[in-house]
Structure 1
Amino acid sequence: MKSLLFLGIVILGIFNVQSKEIDIERGIKFPPKGDLISVKDLQNDVAELKTLLLTVHPDPSFTMNIKALELELNKLTQTIVAPMTQLEAWKHFSLMNPFFNDGHMVITYPEYEQRLNQHMDNGGRFFPLQVRIDKSQNIYVTGVENVNENINIGDKIAAINGVAAAEIVGNILNRMHGDTVSNRRAFGAQRFAKMYWLLYGDSHNYQVDIDDNSELRRYSIPGSDNNTVRDNSDISDFVQRKILKDDIGYIRIDRFYYSSEQEEPFFNFMKQSWLEFRDANVQDVIIDVRNNPGGTDHYWQLGIAPFVAQKPFSFLSRFKIRMTERNIRLGPFKGELGTIAEGSYDELIPIEERNDLRIPGKAYLLMGPLSYSSSVLFLTAFQDSHQAVIAGESGGARSCTTGRIQTSIFDGSKLELTMPTAIFTRPAGQELCKKPIKPDILILDEPSNPNIAVTKLAKSIIDRR
């Protein structure tokens, strides 16, 4: 009887965020709940997760505490004592995400983008404020575009729709993926509106309590109808260039992944940037990847490296990769299907000796808490080869990254599991793998005013000439 009572308490704890679903009078719109899934099917999904860890992941121990993970997986199975809807299943299964300790491994609510687009097309909205989450799990406002003029950047949010900020942050971070706690905080802040919709729904208007020196100010603000999830954006939404004072060029690149329609415009943008910098006699360049979560390496290997590097340089020192059908097709690694290939990686990023558009000075790569995946490879390749100076601050991501992600769909719940199939070791070797990138120039980021870090870095460049 005691064990049954304990399981009941655990279940109530897991689904405490769902108490908001009964608040129909406020007109809250939740994501589709989905069909009811049987206990057997849900437990089979846990077994499937275990199998995928053994057959798809190249080495779970690289990021995970295996014993702790096994305990959590057993707890996950034990607490499945009643059928769940798909949304309930996501709230339950996503509690595993922090235990993967990897920004490339996550259990997600299926077809999120499509369902959010449908929600927005039907007049829905989502939480409108941009925020950051500090080490004490407080929420601070970093963006207030088209929001109540009385809410200011830097304001501390005490509650949203009557739910304490600490409870909201706890429920988000308990389901957030990422390499480390600080990495998960950064991702949680970036995905705050998305996670809020999944956990608390859309109230159309949001009651936001601001903590003003221990006095609460409450404001009602409309939700945002600006859907940034749709991937039909113009390339200018992700890249920017300008020429700063003292012959310094600046390029901001917010991603290394683009649709087939966006790829040519990206490379045209980069070519035009180097042409303009040459014509303006730019000496040094800042490449800002603070908000770049990664993507595909060829964007920086072809669009950046030839114009800032002086000679061919290493991309990786070692690799460990599961030979999936996709990895066999992509190469250059070789092996039998299902096996693990590993070894040293000796290929260099080619750099032509003569390039009229190469900058005469140095490249300064500005990183931040959201720099991840291919951005980590970009930063470590340039740092370890001394082809660029790294500035900014780390968000806690490991400097040796996983990659080559593969998405699987659980048979029972149809939840999506994204998992890496490769582990890449930076050129400097394994000794630094578990540590974050250490910048050559430490510049703390201010999310509410990104220009501050750029100004500080420009001053440092002048001082170093």
Structure 2
Amino acid sequence: MLASACAVLPQPVAFNEETFTRDQLITDFDAGLAFIKETHPDLSYSAKPDALDVKAMEIRASLTDGMTAREAWRQMALLNPVFADAHVGFRRPLNALEIYQDNGGSLFPLPIVFDAGGVMRAAASGPGGVDAGDRIVSINGISADNVVAPLLERMRGETAELGRLVLQLYFPIFFWVEHGGYDAYSVRVKKPDGRTLTARLAEADAYAPADDYFTYRALSAHVGYLKIDTFNIEQFEPFKAFLESAFADIKADQIETLIIDVRENGGGANDLSDELVYYLTDQPYSFISSVKARITEQNIQLVPVEGVKPGMVLDLPLHQTRTPPPDLKNRYSGDVYVLTGPMTYSASIVFATTVQDYGIGKIAGAAPIGAANQTGQVQTLVTPNTKLEALSPLYIFRRPNGDKSRSRITVDIPVNHNPLDPEAALDDLLSIIAQ
């Protein structure tokens, strides 16, 4: 019976991956690390330099002849948690992934979610009787613990919890990085009643996430709901058009209380969040009070200091004042609640602190895991051999109220976060508002 069960497991797909010499790998690792150090305004802001040096020495020693880009990333990415910032580190090997998919390779097709206890569950229903919320016991015969544990050691993020959310977001890619490709995927799940079942998934079963990043609806009389899932600069024009339409509807619906949900918003550009703030206030504001910046050829003309040269680091007060257009149609003047969660990050944290510090609205939900003062303007280096990408920010932004600490946002209205039931937090907030 055991032999029969093993025989039906999906089989690894042979793929002729390019390999690299130890010298090539060390060249790439050193280039990536040097880029991070030379770009970041202050690595000690989130990382311990001594710990970085020790871990870097261990990684160099682990690089050997014959490694693929995937294998090299698995070693270099051990430095990611030491940076303690999701904006810093070695990104998943996207170039190698593109080559794999161009050659017909498939990825694990079912989205996953980690519950409050860190248990991996199906985030959507799939074929073979898999239901959203089912506990994932194994994938292709590999136990869930053995899938998750080695990957968590390589995730970028301020905390292990944020690293888990990054893994959740890109899980199909990371599973491929760690275990390679398969002709199909077998997932064993455990139901809430204790039953277990095994379902076979193929690429055709892949869950297609919705591409509607922005939605609006009236929840009840005079209560409106905006869901903003990204501030990606590529969505700038669609976002502007969405806001124009949504706030026209908000006015027509006579909305007096507006909930802005950024729980799934991993950030992007302040260009988009500014467009949203314009609809919430007619008063000038600045999303930062000061900045620590690495000077480059690209930003040197923005620095109001004489004698500055590229490569220098400056720490100075900086108010990039935004003045909302005075003639903006359908500007909103009612109550505002920004609903945040653990995955709220980067530009969406900056948006939340702006709303809070200027008294535009209240912050509700679970506090974002990332610090209130965010790094930003992330730069990328593609290494010469493996084509792995090193990431590093140019700036450390301080929130409008002047706080320079690494503390997280303090929410005005705490609401429990349940990753398996996102509507529960919204219902709780509606009840609190009603009271």
Task: Give 2:199's aligned residue.
Answer: 220
Task: Give 1:147's aligned residue.
Answer: 127
Deviations 1:94-149 (A, max 9, x none): 12111111111131314267446525xx3x432233322357542122322x433x
- Deviation of 1:291 (Å): 0.8
- Deviation of 1:394 (Å): 2.7
Task: Give 1:163's aligned residue.
Answer: 142
Kept in 2: contact 1:137–1:166 (CA 8 A): no
In 1, Cα distance between the equivalents of 2:197 and 2:100? 27
Query: Structure 1 residues 104-113 or 159-168, which shifts more?
Result: 104-113
Equivalences for residues 110-149 of structure 1 within 5 A: 110-111=94-95, 114-115=98-99, 118=102, 122=104, 124-134=105-115, 137-144=118-125, 146-148=126-128
Q: Is 1:337 aligned to 2:310, yes or no?
A: yes
Q: What amino acid is the match of 1:118?
A: D
Q: Is 1:426 aligned to 2:409, yes or no?
A: no
- Deviation of 1:456 (Å): 2.0
Kept in 1: contact 2:233–2:271 (CA 8 A): no
The 1:394/1:53 distance shift into structure 2, 3 A limit, reads same
Kept in 2: contact 1:323–1:337 (CA 8 A): yes
In 1, Cα distance between the equivalents of 2:395 and 2:71? 31
The alignment of Structure 1 onto Structure 2 pairs a total of residues equal to 426
TM-score, reference length from structure 2: 0.89
- Deviation of 1:226 (Å): 7.2
- Deviation of 1:270 (Å): 0.5
In 2, Cα distance between the equivalents of 1:424 and 1:74? 31
Equivalences for residues 34-433 of structure 1 within 5 A: 34=18, 36-108=19-91, 109-111=93-95, 114-115=98-99, 118=102, 122=104, 124-134=105-115, 137-144=118-125, 146-148=126-128, 150-212=129-191, 217-225=196-204, 237-259=212-234, 262-302=235-275, 304-309=276-281, 311-328=283-300, 331=302, 335-351=308-324, 357-431=330-404, 433=405
- Deviation of 1:72 (Å): 0.2
Identity fraction in percent: 26
In 2, Cα distance between the equivalents of 1:368 and 1:116? 34
Kept in 1: contact 2:337–2:364 (CA 8 A): yes
The gaps in structure 1 that reach 5 residues or longer are: 1-22
Task: Give 1:28's aligned residue.
Answer: 12
In 1, Cα distance between the equivalents of 2:322 and 2:242? 21
Deviations 1:335-385 (A, max 9, x none): 422222320112333235675522231111111221111111101111112
Deviations 1:220-243 (A, max 9, x none): 2313447789xxx99x62111111
Deviations 1:39-78 (A, max 9, x none): 1222223332342233211111011111111110010111
The 1:215/1:244 distance shift into structure 2, 3 A limit, reads closer
Query: Structure 1 residues 372-381 or 403-412, which shifts more?
Result: 403-412
Deviations 1:170-228 (A, max 9, x none): 12111111111111111111221221122223334322222457966231231344778
In 1, Cα distance between the equivalents of 2:410 and 2:88? 24
Task: Give 2:3's aligned residue.
Answer: none
Q: What amino acid is the match of 1:436?
A: R
The 1:263/1:322 distance shift into structure 2, 3 A limit, reads same
The 1:349/1:419 distance shift into structure 2, 3 A limit, reads same
In 2, Cα distance between the equivalents of 1:333 and 1:128? 51
TM-score, reference length from structure 1: 0.84
Q: What amino acid is the match of 1:247?
A: H
The gaps in structure 2 that reach 5 residues or longer are: 1-6
